[in-house]
Amino acid sequence: MADSKKRYLGGARILPPRVRGEMTAAQLVEGVFSAYNAARLREAARLFASKMLAPGATVAASLAGALTPGGYGISCLIPLVEAGFVDWIVSTGANLYHDLHFGLGMRLHHGSPFVSDVELREAGVIRIYDVFFDYNVLLDTDAFVREVIRVPEFQRPMSSAEFHNILGRYVTEREKVLGVEGHSLLAACHRAGVPVYTSSPGDSSIGMNVAALSLTGSKLTIDPNLDVNETAAIVYDAKRSGGKSAVLILGGGSPKNFLLQTEPQIQEVMGLPGKGHDYFLQVTDARPDTGGLSGATPAEAVSWGKIDPEQLPSAVVVYTDTTIALPLLTAYALANREARPLKRLYDRREEMLDRLRKDYLAREKKDG
């Protein structure tokens, strides 16, 4: 075969096994997902399990879209956290708010998107596409949040990671009382020492309740400066300690950018050495040409210093629905990787931030 032909025909032959009823999800991904976006999902699963979950890699996940109300916190995200496969998180506030419903033992139901929302409103039923729940779920969750954040330990400025960790402790205790342990992602992250940040604290019902209590004299504020510096410190520590930084991006939006901007914060703003995140895995249904794919493709992210250009061949974008891809990625990872020791990055926040601060101040002093 001519060299030019070998270059293009050197890939494995497409000859998948017949699908069998007893096949596991991991076996389907590995053996049957042979072309098109299915093949991209297989590439993503291999990247996640083989490189991103290697012992020296620190894995961040960004969460956008209504994942927790659909049950994906319980089914996928909590198992990933408990297995040590996700070390820190950036999420929309909405995902964290709806996660609370499960930790408080409230009921969400399968429904249909093809109903009258006027009738639902009259019946006091909330709809998130095909997820239904009683309007009182919102009121009762709001009441829980307000009750908790009135306590003295919340009466000060803090990062969103500290806020969610303390809130997660209260949810953990409520889970025990109600007998629903393992239902809340925030509670699981509290137990595992996984810091959870939200890139827009006021853009959710949790933030709305925090704002409401500020009118009554509450001293609680979420400090975005702490969030920016703490997240940069996590990435800086991972890289300066000889490890890798890996990002698992579920959807796009603000959480994606907040996660990725850690590298420009280190390089561009602080002037410290860096080359970008090492491993990039994104699941999205957006397109870059319309401006709807926040942060665009990994290739474009290289131009910002967000992604290490030497690692670009390992970056994978899967153009599909997160609710389809996430369970398959989770099953594949759990089938192909042993659980990793928990990094408990939440407990090391001050240490990592101090390292970043010292190096930044030293660079500032050197530059005059």
Active-site residues, by number, are 306
Q: What is the CA radius of gyration of the chain?
A: 22
Q: For the range 217-222, what are the long-range contacts, defined as Cβ-Cβ under 8 Å and sequence gap of 24 or more? A: 218/149, 218/150, 218/154, 218/155, 219/155, 219/156, 219/157, 220/149, 220/154, 220/155, 220/156, 220/157, 220/158, 220/163, 221/157, 221/158, 222/157, 222/158, 222/159, 222/160, 222/163, 222/198
Nearest to 45 by CA among 31, 65, 66, 62: 31
